[in-house]
Structure 1
Amino acid sequence: MTQRRDAGTTWSGNHRYRATEVLLPGDVDELAEVVASARTLRVQATRHTFNDVADSDASLVSLERLPTRVEMVGDRVRVEGLVTFAQLAPVLEAEGRALHNLGSLPHISIVGATATGTHGSGVRNGNLSSALRAVEIMDADGRTHRIDHTHEWFGAAALSLGALGVVTAVELQTEPTYEVTQQAYTGVAWEDIVGDIEGVFGGSRSVSVFTTWGDPEHDLVWAKSDDGAPSWVEEIGGRAVGDDIHLGRIRTVDNTTPRGTPGPWHTRLPHFRADALPSDGDEIQSEYFVPLASAREALAAVRALASTFDDQLLVTELRTVAADELWLSPAYQRDVMVIHFTWRNDTDGVLAVLPAIEQALAPFDARPHWGKAFTMPGERILSTLPRSGDFLAVAREIDPRGVFRNDYLRRTLGL
């Protein structure tokens, strides 16, 4: 029997869902009944979003009670239900397999993260959605479609914002397992970072730079290498951080992954341990993607505004993501620099500073992270995505009644 619960809030509590309830079917048949009878419906996953992308003015549905299954199919893994990266990774490791990358925290669901284009870092690493090779989507009539990488709609289905239906399973490309050694360093001059962006961010498999924009001595370069310790950072002035690590003004209390020693990929690529509260928790996040080729100029434009948003800022993290062919991806057909802001949990204060940042980044055709706080008008975002019109056509064809649409999709995509 389908159960019900209150919709609650997003992970950090910055957004309370307007939805009247969350429906919790116990199997795929119950899910099909819920979907086919709904006037409007959105999917709630692990709630690590900072806007209303997954909200509704009626009901939400969650897969949390559906059976989960992880199955190796050759060099791919099929994941069914609401499985997180933290749950999947040890299963892959036991099979001698791995994913190409992970996000900062492994607590997020695979279906939710891939639907919004969530990512890790690395100039040669695509976002988490780029590992998808097939997606199983239940449409508004309760029928399930398997859309693989050869299908003409795959570019829409692999990163769909929930606009096509309920993603019930995905298949991800895996690779042989590998070890990673990570270390965090202070003391690298800002000019050495922005003066050789591809050298710094390409120095290891995954590289992040943390900054508060006004105190370069405490900027942090966090490098994660699969070919031994990332000692290259010391060659540009870096000094390894000890046991205590401070990500700007974020309170980290024994929650980061081990540094200085090699370990399996899934225990080193995330910043935060799967068994601990990630990041600060009491926060709002925003994130903008600009072409890697324009990164130096884009960072200078943001740095010029830093004093205007300092009161709201906990930390900025800079990362890179390789280009992909997913139609709504912030990295669609271009390698990108990601400018990520972790803000104090003050919605009014954050929304007040975002327009100036977005205006400064407008000359670089910046795209926002779909699941985080932004104020950019939808037409501006869509103008940077050449296949956005194709996506809208697919969404209207697969969901002609508009069951899976909400205020967010109307505002950002015009659906």
Structure 2
Amino acid sequence: MPPLALANRVTQVTPSMTLAISAKAKVMKADGLPVCSFSAGEPDFDTPDHIKAAAKAALDQGKTRYGPAAGEPALRQAIANKLQTDNDLCYGPENIIVTNGGKHSLYGLIMALIEPGDEVIIPAPYWVSYPEMVTLAGGIPVIVPTTADQGYRITPEQLRQAITPKTKLFVLNSPSNPTGMVYAPEEIKALADVVVKADIWVVSDEIYEKILYDGATHLSIGAVSPAAFEHTIISNGFAKAYSMTGWRVGYLAGPAELIKAVSTLQSHSTSNVCTFAQYGAIAALEGPQDCVATMGQAFAERRQAIIQRCRSIPGLSCGAPQGAFYLYVDIQPVGLSSLDFCTQLLDEHYVATIPGSAFGSEGTIRISYATDMETILAGMDRLEAFVKDRLG
């Protein structure tokens, strides 16, 4: 066997810590251990019946063959309609590519847009894959720290100061993974003003747009003005709002030239997204939306319970997430690194959480409440016991 010399690009990135911890928790559970998993960003609900029925019907109709690399025309049109109706974004099907999940839409974008040396501004805490994708493309992740005091939101002044002649892209995620924060409309407008004046691109990751609480509203940055629209790229998908994580259907919306470039890349990597799954996605967009509201109500109830429980534990503190299904917890008084905290909590009390270091924010952990109330209450009891043990 010849020496195995891996490409240097592989050594520059790290595996997803969220997936690694989730996998470890699943193995422990399979071994019979009573694991309470707060690690994965995955709704515990089954995919709604009308979506599954549409995919089954597509199978029965023989929708099992190769399709266009950019996606089924009917789904691209449905996505364009959705973006116009829900987000006030004027895209046509030529501005849409269907991808293998929302993550793949972002990967395709980065590979098509970012060249070696290009800078990409990423507010921290950030979703774990943003900087890794930029690094794989030879770009430079420019991490801008935010704090709990500022609601984990990047300010227009922070964004302005981070921009250099090498800046090509700003990554915006609202509602946020991992913090659950949501930018208010006036904050989105202020950030859009900076983007337009600097003449840079912004990609808005809107995968959690339909999961909101306490009257929070989602404004897509591209809807702020015609000028903002011309600087905006949209990433979204079906995993969170419709509990379709395993279906792997996402999409990217942007200028036709960009979408064509991403489609070319996709044609040489994955080709089309699973054909019959795309018909399920059409049903998700065009069918009844009460399933979204039902799941949202369950998330709201769990959110309230987990906030109250967390705030009752001495040594821990948290804000109230306005969207998504994550609680971002400050653990600094406990005196452990976030990785040590999560590792010991899982090994000793069988509770899986994600260290803030994975999101570029030490001294914190992320707790996903996309699980049933029984698991939430049991897991928080164990978390309290763990913290009390450490604080004496």
**Fold-level similarity (TM above 0.5):** no
Please, what TM-score do these two structures have when normalized by structure 1?
0.24
Please, what TM-score do these two structures have when normalized by structure 2?
0.25
Which is richer in helix?
Answer: 2
Which is richer in strand?
Answer: 1
- Of structures 1 and 2, the one scoring higher in RCO (CA 8 A, sep 6+) is 2
